[in-house]
Structure 1
Amino acid sequence: MKSFSRRTFLQAAGVSAAAVGFGGVLSACASDSGSGSSDKGATSKSEGHASQVTVSMPVSSEPAAGFDPFVSWGCGEHVHEPLIQSTLLTTTADMGFENDLATAYSCSNDGLTWTFTIRADAKFTNGKALTAHDVAYTINGVANSEASECDLTMVDKAVAVDDETCEIHLNKPFNAFLYTLAVIGIVPDGGHGSDYGTNPIGSGRYMLEQWDHGQQVILKANPDYYGDAPKIDRVVVVFMEEDASLAAARSGQVDVAYTVATYADQQPTGYDLLNCASVDSRGISLPTIAAGATKKQTGEEYPAGNDVTQDLSLRRAINYGVNRQTLIDNVLNGYGEVAYSVSDNMPWSSDDMRCEQDISRAKALLDEAGWALGSDGVRMKDGVPAAFDLYYSASDSVRQAIAMEFANQMGELGIKVSPKGASWDDIYRHQFSDPVVWGWGSNSPIEIYNLNYSTGNGNYACYENAAVDAHLNAALANPVIADSYDEWKLAMWDGENGVAPQGAATWVWFANVDHLYFVADGLKVADQKPHPHGHGWSIVNNVDKWSW
C-alpha cells in the first residue's frame, strides 16, 4: 500500500488553495453536505491557482502503457474521454451523440460503410493539421494492434477519401461501434512512435505536462484547441489507495478525492460528498450448461459448465430469492441502486429484466423442479447437492462482501454457496465453470452483446440461443441507433426467448455502485454523465467545464 506522504511533489505541482461554498445538486450526481462540512474550507487547495484542480484516483487508474489509444488509453477496460486526444464523436448524458472532430456522418443502407466528414480547423500539438488521413491511421492502428484493449474486430478497414472525408468499412453491421469511436483518441499519422505513450501528441483539450510514474499526472490546457478554452487550465491527478485518498482530503492536499462506501461517512471538513450515478453493475454469472464442456477464448481453452447452475429452475429461483436492497444496505452502506441488468436506466434497457424478491416463488420453483430440502438444510436433486463455489477478487472488499451476503441469502433457500477469494489469474480459469462476482457496465449497449451473444467475449454463462443472437444482430444492423433499442430489449425477453429471469436467467444482478467523491468547498464540478465501470478518469470527462 502506498502511504500518502507526498506533500513535496504536490506542492511542487502548485497545489495550494482555500475554497468557499460548494453549491448545487448535479443532474447525475448528488451533493451531500454532512455534519463534517465547514464554511471555513480546506486549507491548502488552489490558492493562487484558481484554474487548477487536483484529483485523486485509484492506483489502477494510472495507464500502464501511458496515453496511447493503440493500447488502452480512453478505450480500454475503463472507458473515458481521452482528454489529450480528440474523438470523432462524444456521448451526451442521455446517451445520444454529439460531433467533435466529425462535423457529419452517415451510414450505408447495408450498415457496412460509415462516412465521416472531418472538421478543417483541428491541429495537433506538434502544429500539424488533423485530417481524415490521421483518422484512418488511428482506426486501422487500433483495430490491428495486438496490444489494444479496444474491440474493433468489426472493422475491415478505414480509408481517407480526401483530407476531410474518412470511410470506415465494417465486416458486419455493428452500429454500436459509434460508442467506441466516442472514446478512441485520434493520433497523428507519422507522429505515433514507440514512445508515444509517454510523449503523446493530440488535438484535445489538454496536453501532458508531466508524468511521475506511480505518483501523478499533470495535464495543462491546450492553447490551440479548436473548441471552447478550458475553464480549468491545469489538472493534477494523483494515484493512491482508498485510505490514502481519504487522508489527502483530510489534509487538504486534493480538491476531489475518490472514496468508497465504507469511508463515505468520514467526510472531511471543508468537503461535500458527491454521489455520482453509474452503470457500474455488480452481478454473478450462472453457467447454463453441464460440467465437462470446454470453451475457447483468446486462444486458451477453459473448462465450462456447472452441474448445479445448469438447472434452469434453480437459476430462476436464485433471481427471485435475492433481496437486492438488503445487499446494497449491508454491503454498500446504501450507496448504490438496485439493478436487474447490466444496463439499467439506459435507453436500451428492458423492463422485463426486473425481478422483485419473492421467496415463496423461489422455494416453489425449487420444490417443483425436484430440489428436495435435506436434513442439513441443503437441497438435493438426483444425488447432486444444491451447492457451488462463488469466486470473487480477493483484493476487492466490496465483491467479497457481496459474495458473503449472497451466500447468506441463498442459505435461506437451501442453496449452499461457498465464497472463494482468488486472484484474477485464478478466477479466469473458472470463468466458464463457476459463478463469479463480476463488475461490468458502460455507456454502450455493447455490454449486452458481449455478455449474451453466443460468441460474445463475456458469455460466461455459456448460453447460446439463435433467437437472442438474431435480436442482437438486428439491433446492430440498424443504421439509426435510436431505432435499434427495441431489438436490444427483445434480446432480454421476447415472450419466448431471452436471458431475463423468467427466461434463461443467465445472470443474477444486484446493484449499480455509486461513484463517490469528496469535493472541496468552492469547486463546482460540472454535470456528470452516468459513470461506467471503473472508478477513475470518468470524473474528469468534462473537467474543462469545472470552475472555482
Structure 2
Amino acid sequence: MPRKGRRAWIAAVVALAVVVGVTVGVTAGWGREDPSASSPDEPRSRGTELVVAVGDVAGGEFDPLKGWGSRPAQIRLIHSSLLTIDKDVDFVGDLASQYSVSDDAKSWSFTLRDDARWSNGEPVTAQDVVFTYETLKRDGTRFDLTFVERIVADDESRVTFHLKAPRSTFVSQLSEIPILPAKHYGADYSKNPIGSGPYTVADYQQGQQLILTANPHWYGRRPQFTKLTFLFLGEDAALAAARAGSVDIAYVPPTFAGQRVTGMTLQSFESIDSRALSLPTRPAGGRGKIQGKDVAVGNDVTADPAIRKALNIGLDRDEITEIVLQGHGRPAYTLVDGLPWFNQEAVFEDGRVDDAKRILAEAGWSDSDGDGVADKDGRKARFTLLYPSDDKLRSDLALVVAEQARALGIEITTKGSTWDGIYLDGKANAVTWGGGRHHAHQLYSMYSSKVIDTGYNNMPQYANATVDGHLERALSAATQEEANTHWKRAQWDGTAGFAGENGDAPIIWLVRIDHLYLVRDGLSLGEQPIHGHGHEWALFNSLTQWRWEK
C-alpha cells in the first residue's frame, strides 16, 4: 500500500478506536460536547484551594527507599533536595545556599540555608543530609551511590561528599533525592512524612486522592494556594470532572486535545518526555530480575538485530507523530534529542519500508507461505507489545506501530496491562517505554550492562562492551564537556552504538510529546521549565508561582 494510503488507513483505525471509546464510555465524557447534554455544575470559585486530576501521583509513598524521587519533580511539593532546576533548566540551590566542586571533581561541598525547617518546625541540618544519603547508599536499590566514598557533616550547616572518582551525573541525585529528617525517619514514615517542602501531607488514600496543605515553616516563596487536592482519576474520568466544573486542572492525552470545556483552556508545555519500544535483546529461556522479582527474560524474534533494525528504519515517525500526537510533539530518534549530550548522527531518514524488508531478507527472514508475515527457521516474525491499559497515548502508539509493522512483514500483537504486569512480563516482550530527564544519567541506566537486573533499569537486557566503555567514561568524566563527548559516542561512535540507523536499537525511540492540560480560565501556572518525563508531576516545578490573574 502506498505511504499516503497506509497513513489514511492507520488514522482510520485509530479514529475507530476513539469512536468505540466514546460509544462505550459516554458517561466518562469523551467526545465533543453534546448540545443536548445537561449543563455542567457551577465552576469552582477562585479561592486558595485547587483540585487537580493529572493521573495517579502516588508511587513510593513519600519515601525514597520505596522509590519516591524516581520520577522528575516528584518530590518538589513535599520535600526539598540540595539542588533543583530553574526555568532555564540550570541546576541551582534548593536546601543549599551555596556549593562548590573541587578541581578534581571528587569533593562536593554544600552550605545549607539557615532558614530551612522541617514541617514540624525543627531545623534542617547537615546531619539530616548525611543520614539521607548514607541510608540510601546502604539500601542500594533505588539510587546508585556506590561512587560515594564518605559523607561528612563539617558542622550543623555544611556537608561534604567525597567521591571515589568523578561522577558527571552526581548532580542528578542532588536534585532528585529528598532529604529526610534523621530524628523522625522510620518504618512508618510513609504514614506521616515530615518534609521541608512547601506542602505537607494532610490525607492520602491509595488509589483515590492525596490532599496537601501549606507548610507554615516553608522557607521559600509562599504559595497562594493553601490546599491542593489530587484526584487519582483515569483520563476519561478526569475530562468528565473538568466538564462538571469540579477540577481546576486536568491532564488530557493528545488524541483528545480538541475537546472544548467551558471555563477551561488547553495549555501545552514542551517536554523532553519521549516514547519508545523496548525490545528484548536476548533469546528466550533466560531468567532475570525486575525490582527484585524473578522474571522470564528474552524473546527469540526481537533478539535478532535485523528485526530491531528493520523496525528502527521502517517505522514512520512523522506519521506516528501526526496520528498519535495530533501535532502536539515531534519525532524522536534518541532519548536525548536536542540536548547537549545528543549525537546528531543518530538522526536518519525513516519510513523506508523497502530497506527494512531488505535488512530482514539478508538476515534470512522471508514470507515463505505468503501470509504477509516473514519467517525464519520455522519461526514467524511475531511478538507481543505491552502497553498500560489506562494510558491512551501509549495504547494509540502501540496500535499505530503494529499497523506500520505489518508493511514490513512483522506481526505485532498489542496487549494492555497494568504497570505491575508489564514489569513482570516486559523482559520477554516488547513494551511501550518512556523516559526523559534534565540530565544524561538515563542513558546509563537504560543501556549499561552493569545495571541489568537492578530496579527496572536496562529493560531490554542490552549488553555491548564498546557502549559500556563509552558510558563508563561519560560517568567518570571530570567535566560536562568531556562527559558529553562520551555520551555521544555511546549513541554512535562510527562503528558501534545503541542509536542511529546502524545502531543496535534495543530501544526504538519514536516521539517526544508535549504535555497537555485543561486549566481553569484565569489560573496562571508561572514560568514552567521544559517538562521531564511524566505528566503527573512535571507541572509542579513552578507551583509557588501559581496564582489567579485579575
TM-score normalized by structure 2?
0.83
- For 1:57, the aligned partner's letter is V
SS of the aligned residue for 1:475 comes to helix
Question: Does 2:74 match 1:80?
Answer: yes
Contact kept, 8 Å, 2:60 with 2:66, in 1: the verdict is no
The equivalent residue for 2:343 is: 350
Shift of 1:242: 1.9
SS of the aligned residue for 1:472 comes to helix
Judged with a 3 Å threshold, the aligned counterparts in structure 2 of structure 1 residues 230 and 183 are, in CA distance, closer, same or farther, namely: same
Contact kept, 8 Å, 1:71 with 1:145, in 2: the verdict is no
| Higher alpha-carbon deviation: 483-492 or 225-234 | 225-234
- For 1:473, the aligned partner's letter is E
The partner residue of 1:235 within 228, 231, 238 is: 228
The partner residue of 2:383 within 355, 379, 388 is: 388
The equivalent residue for 2:316 is: 323
Question: Does 2:139 match 1:140?
Answer: no
Q: How does 1:129-528 map to 2 (within 5 A)?
A: 129-145=123-139, 149-170=142-163, 173-211=166-204, 214-296=207-289, 298-357=291-350, 358-374=352-368, 375-457=370-452, 458-481=457-480, 483-500=482-499, 501-528=501-528
Judged with a 3 Å threshold, the aligned counterparts in structure 2 of structure 1 residues 151 and 530 are, in CA distance, closer, same or farther, namely: farther
Judged with a 3 Å threshold, the aligned counterparts in structure 2 of structure 1 residues 340 and 42 are, in CA distance, closer, same or farther, namely: farther
| Higher alpha-carbon deviation: 156-165 or 493-502 | 156-165
Q: State the alpha-carbon separation in 1 of the partners of residues 143 and 41 from structure 2.
A: 40
Judged with a 3 Å threshold, the aligned counterparts in structure 2 of structure 1 residues 161 and 435 are, in CA distance, closer, same or farther, namely: same
Contact kept, 8 Å, 1:441 with 1:532, in 2: the verdict is yes
RMSD, aligned CA: 3.0
SS of the aligned residue for 2:333 comes to coil
Q: State the alpha-carbon separation in 2 of the partners of residues 354 and 474 from structure 1.
A: 23
Judged with a 3 Å threshold, the aligned counterparts in structure 2 of structure 1 residues 225 and 251 are, in CA distance, closer, same or farther, namely: same
SS of the aligned residue for 1:342 comes to coil
Shift of 1:142: 3.0
The equivalent residue for 1:31 is: none
| Higher alpha-carbon deviation: 271-280 or 376-385 | 376-385
TM-score normalized by structure 1?
0.83
The equivalent residue for 1:61 is: 57
Shift of 1:522: 0.8
The partner residue of 2:116 within 118, 122, 125 is: 122
SS of the aligned residue for 1:61 comes to coil
SS of the aligned residue for 1:45 comes to coil
Judged with a 3 Å threshold, the aligned counterparts in structure 2 of structure 1 residues 86 and 430 are, in CA distance, closer, same or farther, namely: closer
Contact kept, 8 Å, 2:106 with 2:162, in 1: the verdict is yes
Judged with a 3 Å threshold, the aligned counterparts in structure 2 of structure 1 residues 289 and 223 are, in CA distance, closer, same or farther, namely: closer
**Deviations 1:437-472 (CA, angstroms, capped at 9, x unpaired):** 222333332211111111234323333222211211
Contact kept, 8 Å, 1:474 with 1:487, in 2: the verdict is yes
| Higher alpha-carbon deviation: 203-212 or 245-254 | 203-212
SS of the aligned residue for 2:180 comes to coil
- For 1:97, the aligned partner's letter is F
Judged with a 3 Å threshold, the aligned counterparts in structure 2 of structure 1 residues 239 and 394 are, in CA distance, closer, same or farther, namely: closer
Q: State the alpha-carbon separation in 1 of the partners of residues 286 and 118 from structure 2.
A: 51
Q: Flag the structure with higher helix content.
A: 2
The equivalent residue for 1:106 is: 100
**Deviations 1:79-128 (CA, angstroms, capped at 9, x unpaired):** 53432222100023443211122233334555544322222232223232
Contact kept, 8 Å, 2:263 with 2:520, in 1: the verdict is yes
Shift of 1:247: 2.2
Q: State the alpha-carbon separation in 1 of the partners of residues 422 and 216 from structure 2.
A: 46
Q: State the alpha-carbon separation in 2 of the partners of residues 197 and 82 from structure 1.
A: 16
- For 1:220, the aligned partner's letter is T
- For 1:118, the aligned partner's letter is L
Contact kept, 8 Å, 1:453 with 1:459, in 2: the verdict is yes
Shift of 1:532: 2.6
The equivalent residue for 2:538 is: 538
Judged with a 3 Å threshold, the aligned counterparts in structure 2 of structure 1 residues 306 and 537 are, in CA distance, closer, same or farther, namely: closer
Shift of 1:210: 4.5
Q: How does 1:12-23 map to 2 (within 5 A)?
A: none
**Deviations 1:235-273 (CA, angstroms, capped at 9, x unpaired):** 333322222221222222222122223432222111110
Contact kept, 8 Å, 1:476 with 1:484, in 2: the verdict is yes
Contact kept, 8 Å, 1:108 with 1:479, in 2: the verdict is no
SS of the aligned residue for 1:542 comes to helix
SS of the aligned residue for 2:422 comes to helix
SS of the aligned residue for 2:412 comes to strand
- For 1:311, the aligned partner's letter is D
Q: State the alpha-carbon separation in 1 of the partners of residues 136 and 41 from structure 2.
A: 43
Q: State the alpha-carbon separation in 2 of the partners of residues 382 and 117 from structure 1.
A: 64
Judged with a 3 Å threshold, the aligned counterparts in structure 2 of structure 1 residues 210 and 299 are, in CA distance, closer, same or farther, namely: closer
| Higher alpha-carbon deviation: 197-206 or 245-254 | 197-206
Shift of 1:346: 2.5
Q: State the alpha-carbon separation in 1 of the partners of residues 461 and 67 from structure 2.
A: 27
Q: State the alpha-carbon separation in 2 of the partners of residues 341 and 510 from structure 1.
A: 8
Shift of 1:370: 3.3
SS of the aligned residue for 1:490 comes to helix
Q: State the alpha-carbon separation in 2 of the partners of residues 442 and 517 from structure 1.
A: 20
Q: State the alpha-carbon separation in 1 of the partners of residues 298 and 202 from structure 2.
A: 50
